[in-house]
Amino acid sequence: MWLSTLQTYPFLTADPANDPEQLRAMVAEFLSDKEFSGMHGLDISDAMAVAIAAQACLPVLHLGLSWYDDFKGIVVHPGAMLARREMVDDAGVVHHYKEALTGEAMQHGPVTLSWADVAASGDSAQAGYNVVIHEFVHKMDMRTGSADGCPPLPSRLIWESWRVTMQASYARFQSKLTMAERFGAEPPWLDAYAATAPAEFFAVTSEAYFVNRQRFTQEFPELMPLFAQFFNASAAP
Structural domain boundaries, residue 151: 2-231
Residue 17 lies in a domain: yes
Residue 165 lies in a domain: yes
pLDDT tens for residues 62-120? 999 999 999 999 999 999 886 665 666 666 666 555 567 899 999 999 999 999 999 99
Residue 181 lies in a domain: yes
Region 164-189: what's the mean pLDDT?
Answer: 96
pLDDT tens for residues 6-62? 999 999 999 988 999 999 999 999 999 999 999 999 999 999 999 999 999 999 999
Interatomic CA distance for residues 47 and 77, integer angstroms? 16
Strand pairing partners for 82? 100
Mean pLDDT of all residues belonging to the chain: 92
CATH number where 59 lies: 3.40.390.10
Residue 236 lies in a domain: no
| Predicted local confidence at residue 1, as pLDDT | 95
**What does 154-187 look like in DSSP terms, one character per residue?**
S-HHHHHHHHHHHHHHHHHHHHHHHHHHHH-PPP
CA end-to-end span of the chain: 31
* pLDDT exceeds 70 at position 236: no
Residue 237 lies in a domain: no
| Predicted local confidence at residue 101, as pLDDT | 83
- Yes or no: say if 71 and 30 are a contact pair by the CB < 8 Å rule: no
| Predicted local confidence at residue 65, as pLDDT | 97
Q: How many domains does the chain have?
A: 1
* CA distances to 4, 51, 152, 224 from 9, in Å: 9, 8, 28, 22
- Yes or no: say if 78 and 39 are a contact pair by the CB < 8 Å rule: yes
**What does 4-71 look like in DSSP terms, one character per residue?**
HHHHHSGGGG-STTS-HHHHHHHHHHHHHH-EEEE-TT----HHHHHHHHHHHHGGGTTT-GGGGTT-
Interatomic CA distance for residues 36 and 110, integer angstroms? 10
